[in-house]
Copies of this chain bind each other. A is one copy, B any other.
């Protein structure tokens, strides 16, 4: 419930239900602030909520260490540009959640997001009698099994959503791979001043024709300006012959030598868009949030 009498309160848009990893990322990014979450159904809604002033900030998940880039979000970063004020890497850890008093050996059906199910593959294999069912959202899965009140149902989701729904955690950290992080860019409406903020990093998106064969030129330009590359990714532009999207991140801001580099890059790389420059984020393990 946003409260106009508390000026320190900020409204942060997240995609998904309350209790989602996006919500936890918001608390970790703004640890000192009174955060009011604005849940959004889709990424399009999330960008709109910030752009139209219904939220002050938005948590945009851009990639996961295991599953890769969330291309729909990258597309929105280009098509609906908003200032990026920072980033955070959130450790993703999954729990098996069921009704109070439930026992692991009684669980027959488990509900979660396909990616969460995939990330807990080893745990699910070693409990081979549990059938998997896909739903759109981890926190939503917990809410759903609670509402259905069926014994033998469980959900895979964050500890936070068990706490929010008064449900029980039957097993913690059931993900196969521990180095599971989701990286969020934090969107705002007004560009923040970068003065005195060091270090910085910059995110750009461009288009490469001809199966990426001009990528060496693009990277060469950064090398010449002694700018370190942080991320390179190429992704097919579906329907455009031999064309690829380029996601590129480098050290420092977009001014000075980087401005020169970007100018040269634009010769090898079409539709070059600077998504933003912002301070590199920290990796955080989400703490339980008391409502």
By a CB distance below 8 angstroms, the chain B residues around A63 are 211
In the complex, chain A residues 151-205 whose Cβ is within 8 Å of any chain B Cβ: 176-177, 179-181
A278 touches B (CB below 8 Å) = no
Known A213-B230, A232-B213, A234-B234; contact A180-B241, beta-carbon cutoff 8 A: yes
CB-CB < 8 A to A232: which residues of B? 211-213, 215-216, 234
A239 contact set on B, CB distance < 8 A: 66, 118, 176-177
Contacts of A273 in B (CB 8 A): none
Q: Is residue A219 within 8 Å, beta carbon to beta carbon, of the partner chain?
A: yes
Measured in the bound complex, the distance between the Cα atoms of B51 and A283 in whole Å is: 47
Q: Residues of B contacting A231 with CB < 8 Å? A: 211-213
* Contact call A177/B234, Cβ cutoff below 8 A: no
Given known contacts A67-B236, A236-B69, is B216 in contact with A179 (CB within 8 Å)?
no
Min Cβ gap A247→B in Å is 9
Note all chain B residues with C-beta closer than 8 A to A177: 239-241
Which residues of A222-261 have CB atoms within 8 Å of chain B's CB atoms?
222-223, 228-234, 236, 238-242, 244
CB 8 Å contact bits of A258-272 with B (1 = contact, 0 = none):
000000000000000
Complex Cα–Cα for A249 and B68 (A): 23
A72 touches B (CB below 8 Å): no
For A68, the closest partner residue in chain B by CB is B236
Q: Which residue of B lies closest to A250 (CB)?
A: B213
- A233 contacts B211, C-beta separation under 8 Å: yes
Residues of B within 8 A of A176 (CB): 239
CA distance A69 to B211 in the complex (A): 10
Q: Does A42 contact B (CB under 8 A)?
A: no
Q: Is the CB of B65 within 8 A of A238?
A: no
List 7 additional A-B contacts (Cβ < 8 Å) besides A66-B241, A212-B232, A215-B215.
A66-B238, A68-B238, A177-B240, A211-B233, A213-B229, A215-B229, A219-B220
User: 25 A-B pairs, CB-CB below 8 angstroms?
Assistant: A63-B211, A65-B241, A66-B240, A67-B236, A67-B238, A68-B236, A68-B238, A118-B239, A179-B242, A180-B241, A181-B241, A211-B233, A212-B229, A212-B231, A212-B232, A213-B229, A213-B232, A215-B215, A215-B229, A216-B219, A216-B223, A216-B229, A219-B220, A220-B220, A233-B234
